[in-house]
Amino acid sequence: MSAPKRRTLNDLKSSDRFNKPAVREAYELTRLRFRLAEAVRERREELGWSQEELGRQAGMTQSSVARFEHGGTEPTLPTLERLAEALGLILNVEMKTPPDTETDAQRSLSPV
């Protein structure tokens, strides 16, 4: 028996289920967790590693990797750093103004 096809965030967003307000609200609350989890799982699979192997490389248990990949934990920065290093990735954490938000200074410089 083959394993069921994994669903991605794009699968969820394109489903009828995503149009339900409660689902959208829950998604917004966990969006970053799921994005991180998906990136880790995809990279692990690219490398051909099991969760157990990633755990060994990152100094974590297989069950911790599984919980992370299913979005079941709120990871700390040290955990993200260990996972990124083990997977050969660069962890980049930033805070910035959303692209559709203008500052008062930008608005005052814009021609009318």
* Residue 37 to residues 19, 42, 85, 91, 97, Cα–Cα distance (Å): 22, 9, 15, 13, 24
> Are the CB atoms for 65 and 51 separated by under 8 Å?
yes
**Tens place of pLDDT per residue across the chain (112 aa):** 566 677 776 777 777 877 888 887 877 778 888 889 999 999 999 999 999 999 999 999 999 999 999 988 888 999 999 999 999 999 998 888 988 765 555 554 555 4
Q: How many CB atoms lie within 10 A of CB 83?
A: 27
List all residues 6 or more positions away from 41 whose beta carbon is below 8 Å from its beta carbon.
69
- pTM of this structure: 0.66
Q: What is the DSSP string of 33-81?
A: HHHHHHHHHHHHHHHT--HHHHHHHHT--HHHHHHHHTT-S---HHHHH
